[in-house]
Structure 1
Amino acid sequence: MQKKRILVAALNWGLGHAARCVPIIEELQRQHFEPIIASDGEALRLLHKEFPHLNYEKLPSYHIKYPENGAYFKWKLIMETPRILSAIEEEKKLTKKLVKKYNLFGIISDNRLGVRSKKLKRNVFITHQLNVLSGSTSFFSSFIHQKYIRKFDQCWIPDFEGSQNLSGKLGHLDKKQKNCQYIGPLSRFEKTATPIMYEYAVILSGPEPQRSILESILLKELKDASEKILFIRGVMSDEGFQCDNPNINMKNHLFGKALQEALNCSRVIISRSGYSTIMDLAALGKKAFFIPTPGQYEQEYLAEKFQDNGIAPYCDQNHFSLEQLQKVQNYKGLSDLGGSAGLRGCLAFFHSK
């Protein structure tokens, strides 16, 4: 009997959207669906490495890039809006072809606004941003995003619905939209009892040039560190990268169980405050030091939220120093908030007739 085919489409904006699709794809397979992977760039390469046996399709690229000066980030996105909208229209055209090519039963789109089909009754949108923070234009950007969300049959929010949650005002409205459902945080990792090998693990990700800018800052500030440090650059390259400090173990990338083991054996994680990273660190119960991407309101909000709640400190990347990491000992770290609404149960949506 032919398995029902579900298209899983992830936005290529850093690796976070692709990473949180990993447990979705795994659960689809456990429930005897056939996932079809769709994305572009490094997000597509990550998913293809995690699931080399699955069919995958390349989607149009949004070509999201950060300015070197974070203060211009919002205005750069506004200037690029026509190109992004054009990519969304191309997504719609390609999705029509994929529905026919694979005889799709349903779609799960992680922030791919154009990946849905009127011919299907099971179009799911995944986002933790019901409110899209953009400074003085937050009301407008949130209104537009919520309008897109209402076009999908369901919206899955990877968080808890109550006051004990990870996303704060990003994922919670004063009045819940009818098609929204909280499914609990998504993470591909599990906490294991692993001996600590590294005092710090640096996890880099996100679009250029900000990824490279932060990498340069961290390597400069950590060049004399005496602690053992694992430094994962977050680039899909096999070309070696040398570091003068013998205490720093450089890796371009790690995947699957290797990355899970690396994080479990590290005492403190240094990373951006992206939401997918936060979900992973909560699943692992880790202490963290956050460095939000300049100009990205979402990451700045989350970093401030967790510092104010006594969970993890942060600083902007231009003020980072080795001494800043001493603050971590005064914070309790992230932890699982106690159970999940259940990704497994949510997939019953695709079992229904």
Structure 2
Amino acid sequence: MKKILVAPLNWGLGHATRCIPIIKGLIENGFEPIIASDGVALELLKKEFPALVYFELPSYNIQYAENGKNFKWKMIAQIPKIISAVRNEEKKIDSILEKHQIDGIISDNRLGVFSKKVPCVFITHQLNVLTGSSSYFTTKLHKKYILKFQQCWVPDLEGHNNLTGKLGHQSDQIKNVKYIGPLSRLRKKPLPIVYDLMVLLSGPEPQRSILEKKIISELENYDKKVVFIKGIVEKNQIKVEKNNITFYNYMNSEELENTFNISNLILCRSGYTTIMDLAKLHKKAFFIPTPGQYEQEYLAEKFEKEGIIPTCKQEDFKIEYINRIEKYKGFTNYGKKITWKELFNLF
């Protein structure tokens, strides 16, 4: 069996969760996935695939600003730390390849997970990296990294009917880009509705905790049935029932799939992995983008303009805004069947 190293970025849970169908595809097609990541992304995949081999990579340790206006400057200040982590990542990958006879690499936004010795794939939904006035330069830098890889997989559709908009579609197409279709670990099931509202949190601190406190405070004025998933991956799952709200620290894929299907409406960030899940399940939702994160703000605005999902700023959110959802059409399925065998021909 050929060994393929799969390495998602540890930035919230989205990169790790969208790698789950890729890992399953590798197993189903006779490959042996080897997982490399850090932090909660690594812990999540260990819970999903306990029998696989794992390696811990150097952490980028990205922190968000508490004030969204400072997001870009906080990220710029962390660039030296990120560059150092990427260099250490490259050394670690060289060591792993030498000792474990890796036959290929799939990197989800980890810039240092690359080798000239084996075929390498880079996964991203951002061919244009939006950072305000510096978008031109961040996009050029990102493109430089993308072109090192044999292929760049964009989990979206190529035509006008797509999920990423200008994020994943450039006017001057990058030569190694391959649109593979949206990635989701979830399936739509005909289950009866149990919860009126599902709250789904994720993302780096401190913004995850800030939003958690904000929503819990607002839910004091909401008397319908709620399931609240905090997005905190810990050793054991913790379930707490308080009045009309059932809290979980985290859920595995199977539990999350069922909870999505038995929930009427979704309240969440406008992260791209969540968007792919909502599209797969044809769900209606309300988006609260992470303050200052241009990508999430752009996607939330895009879907509101298209009449699909309403949105508001984090500091403005009120629980009664949930009622706006019914005026929007929600997602339809943008999916196409991914041909794993064809994709894995590279290896």
TM-score normalised to structure 1 length: 0.96
TM-superposed CA distance for 1:242, in Å, is: 5.3
- CA distance in structure 2 between the partners assigned to 1:230 and 1:201 by the alignment: 5
2:14 corresponds to 1:41: no
Question: Tell me, which stretches of 5 or more residues in structure 1 are unaligned?
Answer: none
Change (3 A) 1:27 1:306: same
- CA distance in structure 1 between the partners assigned to 2:53 and 2:158 by the alignment: 34
2:118 corresponds to 1:127: no
Whether the aligned pair in 2 keeps the contact of 1:74 and 1:134 (CA below 8 Å) is yes
Q: Name 2:136's counterpart in structure 1.
A: 139
- CA distance in structure 1 between the partners assigned to 2:277 and 2:52 by the alignment: 24
Change (3 A) 1:56 1:338: closer
Equivalent of 1:187 in 165, 184, 201: 184
Whether the aligned pair in 2 keeps the contact of 1:290 and 1:314 (CA below 8 Å) is yes
SS at structure 1 position matched to 2:315: helix
Trace 1:310-329 onto structure 2 (pairs within 5 A). 310-329=307-326
TM-superposed CA distance for 1:70, in Å, is: 0.9
Q: Name 1:106's counterpart in structure 2.
A: 104
- CA distance in structure 2 between the partners assigned to 1:58 and 1:29 by the alignment: 21
Whether the aligned pair in 1 keeps the contact of 2:200 and 2:231 (CA below 8 Å) is yes
2:26 corresponds to 1:59: no
Q: Structure 2: which amino acid aligns with 1:43?
A: A
SS at structure 2 position matched to 1:161: coil
Whether the aligned pair in 2 keeps the contact of 1:160 and 1:341 (CA below 8 Å) is no
Equivalent of 1:263 in 260, 265, 268: 260
Q: Name 2:205's counterpart in structure 1.
A: 208
Q: Structure 1: which amino acid aligns with 2:62?
A: I
- CA distance in structure 2 between the partners assigned to 1:347 and 1:239 by the alignment: 34
Q: Structure 2: which amino acid aligns with 1:94?
A: K
SS at structure 1 position matched to 2:221: coil
Q: Name 1:178's counterpart in structure 2.
A: 175
- CA distance in structure 2 between the partners assigned to 1:159 and 1:232 by the alignment: 26
Q: Name 1:85's counterpart in structure 2.
A: 83
Q: Structure 1: which amino acid aligns with 2:138?
A: S
2:155 corresponds to 1:158: yes
- CA distance in structure 1 between the partners assigned to 2:322 and 2:341 by the alignment: 38
* Cα displacement string for residues 110-165 of structure 1 (whole angstroms, at most 9, x for unaligned residues): 00000011111x10000000000000000000000011000011100000000000
Equivalent of 2:2 in 1, 4, 21: 4
SS at structure 2 position matched to 1:12: coil
TM-superposed CA distance for 1:348, in Å, is: 2.0
Trace 1:9-20 onto structure 2 (pairs within 5 A). 9-20=7-18
Change (3 A) 1:299 1:344: farther
- CA distance in structure 2 between the partners assigned to 1:228 and 1:69 by the alignment: 31
- CA distance in structure 2 between the partners assigned to 1:300 and 1:135 by the alignment: 11
TM-superposed CA distance for 1:345, in Å, is: 2.4
TM-superposed CA distance for 1:224, in Å, is: 2.8
TM-superposed CA distance for 1:343, in Å, is: 3.9
SS at structure 1 position matched to 2:105: strand
2:216 corresponds to 1:219: yes
Aligned residues: 346
- CA distance in structure 2 between the partners assigned to 1:101 and 1:94 by the alignment: 11
TM-superposed CA distance for 1:178, in Å, is: 1.1
Whether the aligned pair in 2 keeps the contact of 1:234 and 1:252 (CA below 8 Å) is yes
RMSD (Å) for aligned C-alpha atoms: 1.2
- CA distance in structure 2 between the partners assigned to 1:33 and 1:240 by the alignment: 34
Whether the aligned pair in 2 keeps the contact of 1:184 and 1:342 (CA below 8 Å) is no
TM-superposed CA distance for 1:241, in Å, is: 7.2
Whether the aligned pair in 1 keeps the contact of 2:182 and 2:335 (CA below 8 Å) is no
TM-superposed CA distance for 1:336, in Å, is: 1.0
- CA distance in structure 1 between the partners assigned to 2:315 and 2:342 by the alignment: 44
2:63 corresponds to 1:70: no
Larger mean CA deviation between 29-38 and 171-180 belongs to 171-180
Larger mean CA deviation between 172-181 and 130-139 belongs to 172-181
Taking every aligned residue pair, what percent have the same amino acid on both sides? 55
- CA distance in structure 1 between the partners assigned to 2:194 and 2:338 by the alignment: 34
SS at structure 2 position matched to 1:223: helix
Equivalent of 1:296 in 293, 298, 310: 293
- CA distance in structure 1 between the partners assigned to 2:325 and 2:190 by the alignment: 21
Q: Structure 2: which amino acid aligns with 1:232?
A: I
Q: Structure 1: which amino acid aligns with 2:78?
A: E
Q: Structure 1: which amino acid aligns with 2:96?
A: L
